[in-house]
A and B are shown apart, each in its own frame.
Chain A
Amino acid sequence: DTAVSQTPKYLVTQMGNDKSIKCEQNLGHDTMYWYKQDSKKFLKIMFSYNNKELIINETVPNRFSPKSPDKAHLNLHINSLELGDSAVYFCASSHNLIVTEAFFGQGTRLTVV
């Protein structure tokens, strides 16, 4: 069983489109995150949620909107995709805000053409 799973694994889309990436964790964790890995492999946090509540929004453009329907799911919707949005997006989860060992999904490689 995959602990943190993301879909899709690959996403190729045209500029201006809207797309979503889904994330689910079956670890029973309270806290979930989205990280972005750029072309130089640098990883940076975008958002974190704890029990469906937004905790961190790391100056990400408004075109990015996370949604957490329940604490096991954190989806990422991106409007009006731009070339610069091309990256690998990782979902992660941790037990809670105190026990923060993070477990990552397999990543979603987004390519905007």
Chain B
Amino acid sequence: GIQVEQSPPDLILQEGANSTLRCNFSDSVNNLQWFHQNPWGQLINLFYIPSGTKQNGRLSATTVATERYSLLYISSSQTTDSGVYFCAVERARENFNKFYFGSGTKLNVKP
């Protein structure tokens, strides 16, 4: 398999603060996704980002595949950003596409 490590495991922010979440992976990947699991349990797609940088409103993500990491930036955080953020990777050396998930970063944004 492939190891996917996310840091930090837990994060508490005051509303309006910025943060960076990190995802390290142990092998070459074809694809990488960031998800937000909201307090109701729904998994929401944030970015599909095997390499490069993407931005969507207050969120942006950067994947440096050659160095085996991805970063998720949250700017001007809001209470609705609370939840668990997952990174999931698709390993390059496997014949069958499947995502390996990290253990997540639990974010709590306080008003």
Report the stretch among B41-49, B53-61, B66-74 that lies at the interface. Answer: B41-49
Pick the contact of A101: B33, B42, B43, B103 (CB < 8 A).
B33
Tell whether, in the assembled complex, residue A100 and residue B104 are in contact, meaning their CB atoms are under 8 Å apart: no
- A50 and B72 CA atoms in complex are apart in Å by 30
Contact B33 A48 (CB under 8 A): no
Indicate whether A113 reaches chain B with its CB closer than 8 angstroms.
Answer: no
B42/A106 in contact, CB under 8 A: yes
User: A88 at interface (Cβ–Cβ under 8 A)?
Assistant: yes
Beta-carbon nearest neighbor of B90 in chain A: A100
Question: Per-residue 0/1 for A95-109: is the Cβ within 8 Å of any B Cβ (1 yes, 0 no)?
Answer: 001001111101101
Chain A residues with a Cβ closer than 8 Å to the other chain, count:
24
Least CB separation from B45: chain A residue: A103
Distance between Cα atoms of A30 and B86 in the complex (Å): 24
Checking B35, B42, B90, B103 against A42 with a beta-carbon cut-off of 8 angstroms, the contacting residue is B103
How many chain B residues touch A (Cβ–Cβ < 8 Å)? 21
The complex places the Cα of A107 from the Cα of B90 at a distance, in Å, of 21
Q: By the criterion CB–CB under 8 Å, are A55 and B31 in contact? A: no
- Give, as a whole number of angstroms, the nearest-CB distance from A30 to chain B: 11
- Among residues of A, the one whose C-beta sits closest to the C-beta of B84 is A41
The answer to the question of B80 belonging to the interface, with a C-beta cut-off of 8 Å to chain A, is: no
Residues of B within 8 A of A97 (CB): 97
In this complex, what residue of A is CB-closest to B99?
A: A102
Task: Give the residues in chain A near B45, CB-CB below 8 Å.
Answer: 101-104
Chain A 35-50 interface 0/1 with B at a Cβ cutoff of 8 Å (1 = within): 0000011111100100
Sample (8) of A-B pairs whose CB atoms are under 8 Å apart:
A43-B101, A45-B99, A56-B96, A58-B98, A102-B45, A104-B35, A104-B42, A106-B41
